[in-house]
Amino acid sequence: MLIYPWKSGVVIDTGLAKIAVDTPKPVPGAVHVVTHAHADHIGAARKTAPFSTPGTHEILKVLGYSSEPLREGALRVFGDADVSFISAGHIPGSAQVVIDNGKRIVVTGDWKLEDDILEPGAEIPDDADVLILETTFGAPQYQFPPRKEVYPQIEKWAKTNLSIGNHVALLGYAVGKSQELAALLNSLGIVPVVPERTHKVNALFGLSDVLIGSDGWREYVSEPRVFVLPPNFSDILPALEVELGRKIVARSCSGWARNGFPLSSHADFWQTIEYVQRVEPKLVLTYGGNAHQMATVLRRMDYDARPLTHTVML
């Protein structure tokens, strides 16, 4: 069996099956799998119909792509390998990929352990021989406060600014983070103003919003409102402020946020350590940001761990 990186994705070649996970382009001769619907993971979907969870399948349709849905827990056999999904807790529809051909391999994709208002945290896989572990925030400086602290901070900041007549803009990815923010706002009795892509994905989850440009939206924003916008909309906020005649205050909601809310859809350093301890894999292959650093930490904890920078033969 061979395991190797393919740009930002991973390929597992059992000899009788080649399974490409989140590769940015199709891999010749491979069965393709997409773990979730973020743009940096769906490259293969632009030219193939990869396997995904039903939730990701529905989001991909909104984005103009296709996939073949495979529900969590169901098995598909490719050559000598059984392939299935378990929840990753990253965004709605996200999955970890379990590949079993006598050796049990788990590819986490992007993941987190913490529950959020829409999505339970990642499922802990059983009996992983090889754990292919995403480590975007796998360094000690990345320690995020729990959502039970961050959600009230967002509420307080938003309501304070609305009370003094400001519009509020919460910035988060149109797929995933924007749905979490919309669900939080809906739970507070607030209906956010959103752009078209966010609106279409929100509709999949029964979330209430007001679409920019829809009938009546200008009347709606004549009062102070909350906008949920993708990060690239920050560039047009000054123009939107002039257009609407009201000050707009904005905060990013991300693990990368410097002056915003540290609301990450990824596991932080300590979640990553906890996850590995609960899985107890025989081998850990780290990939993504901080892969070398996390592998070093895990080796010091007596795990067989290494960054996935080249082909590994099992």
For 62-103, how does the pLDDT look when each residue is reduced to its tens digit (9 = 90+)? 999 999 999 988 999 999 999 999 999 999 999 999 999 999
Same-domain check for residues 112 and 7: yes
* Cβ-defined contacts of 270-274 (< 8 Å, 24+): 270/143, 271/112, 271/113, 271/114, 272/133, 272/135, 272/137, 272/138, 273/297, 273/301, 274/113
Residue range of the domain that includes 75: 2-142+265-313
Whether 116 has a pLDDT exceeding 90, the answer reads: yes
Whether 245 has a pLDDT exceeding 90, the answer reads: yes
Same-domain check for residues 115 and 185: no
d(C-alpha 60, C-alpha 46), whole Å: 10
Looking up residue 30, the CATH number of its domain turns out to be 3.60.15.10
The total number of structural domains that make up the chain: 2
Q: Length of the chain in residues, anyone?
A: 314
Per-residue pLDDT averaged across 146-156, rounded? 98
- Whether 259 is covered by a domain: the verdict is no
- Bridge partners, 307 (sequence order): 286
Per-residue CA distances from 193 to 30, 65, 221 (Å): 41, 25, 8
Those residues with Cβ within 8 angstroms of residue 233's Cβ, 6 or more apart along the chain or in another chain: 169, 171, 195
- Whether 260 is covered by a domain: the verdict is no
- Whether 100 is covered by a domain: the verdict is yes
- Whether 258 is covered by a domain: the verdict is no
Strands laid side by side in the 95-100 sheet = 76-78, 81-87, 95-100, 104-107, 130-134, 283-287, 305-307
Same-domain check for residues 225 and 302: no
Give the model's pLDDT for residue 128.
Answer: 96
Whether 160 has a pLDDT exceeding 90, the answer reads: yes
Same-domain check for residues 124 and 80: yes
- Whether 272 is covered by a domain: the verdict is yes
Whether 295 has a pLDDT exceeding 90, the answer reads: yes
- Whether 69 is covered by a domain: the verdict is yes
Same-domain check for residues 56 and 205: no
Same-domain check for residues 14 and 115: yes
Per-residue pLDDT averaged across 289-305, rounded? 98
Same-domain check for residues 274 and 138: yes
